[in-house]
Structure 1
Amino acid sequence: MDLLTGLVVDETQTVTLAELCRCCSLPAEEVMVMVEYGIVEPLETRVTHSRWQFSGSSVVRIQRAMRLQRDLGVNLAGAALALELLDEVRASRQQLAGRRKWE
C-alpha cells in the first residue's frame, strides 16, 4: 500500500523564508534565486531576506516550478515563464466563467 502525504496550504497565511524552505525542502539560496526569477515574491521587499514573508501560495508555486524542472527539464527562467502563462490562462478562464454567469 502506498502512503500519500500532503500539505494543506492556506493562501491567506504567511510563511517565513525558513518555513518556505522547510516546506519545499530547499535551501534559502535556491528560494532567493527563485525570487530573482520572479517565481515567488516576498510580501515586503524592503526588509532583509532573513525577514522575508511569503503568501501561502508561494509553497505551491515553488513546488510547481520544481516539478517543471524535474519532469520536463525546464530551467528556472522557463519555469517562471510557464507559471506566468498558467496564471494568465487561469485568470482568463475565471473571467470567461464570470461572463457566462451573466448571459
Structure 2
Amino acid sequence: MAKDTETTAPCEEWYTLSLREVTCSFGVDAHVILEIMDEGIISSQKNEQNEFYFGSDDIRRIRTVLQLHRDLGVNFAGAALALELMHEIEQLKRLLHSSHH
C-alpha cells in the first residue's frame, strides 16, 4: 500500500482529483470508487463537465478504505464503520487533551 501513499500524499492537501485520476493513483477500477461512494464513505462533487472530482478528505478516506480492504479483507461497509470509529476516537482524544490544558 506504500504506492498509494507515495502517489497521493504530497498533493492531496491542495488538489482535487477527477475520478480517472483517483482510479489511476490507487490502481482500482471506477466501480470500486463508486461502491465506496454508495456506502456513503465519500461525497464527491461534479465539475462543469459533469465529471466526479474528489477533495483531500475524500482522497484520504479512499486511501484508508482501500488499505483496510486490501490488507485486512474488510468490506466497504465495515470500512465505513471503522472510519466512523476512528473519527470518534480522534474527537475523544482532542477532548481529553483540551481538558488537560
The TM-score bracket by the shorter chain reads 0.7 to 0.9
Per-residue deviation at 1:19?
1.4
Amino acid across the alignment from 2:35: V
Within 5 Å, give how 1:21-100 maps onto structure 2.
21-42=23-44, 44=45, 51-100=51-100
Give the conservation status (yes or no) of the 8 Å contact 2:15–2:55.
yes
* Whole-angstrom distance in 1 between the partners of 2:11 and 2:85: 22
Runs of 4+ residues deviating >4 angstroms? none
Query: Structure 1 length normalisation: TM-score?
Result: 0.74
Whose Rg is larger?
Answer: 1
Which 10-residue stretch deviates more, 10-19 or 86-95?
10-19
Distance 1:68 1:19, change over 3 A: same
Number of residue equivalences: 96
Which 10-residue stretch deviates more, 60-69 or 74-83?
60-69
Unaligned runs of 5+ in 1: none
Amino acid across the alignment from 2:31: E
1:44-95 deviations in Å (ceiling 9; x for gaps): 36x79x5122112322222221221222221111011111111111122123
The percentage of counterpart residues that share the same residue type is: 29
Amino acid across the alignment from 2:76: L
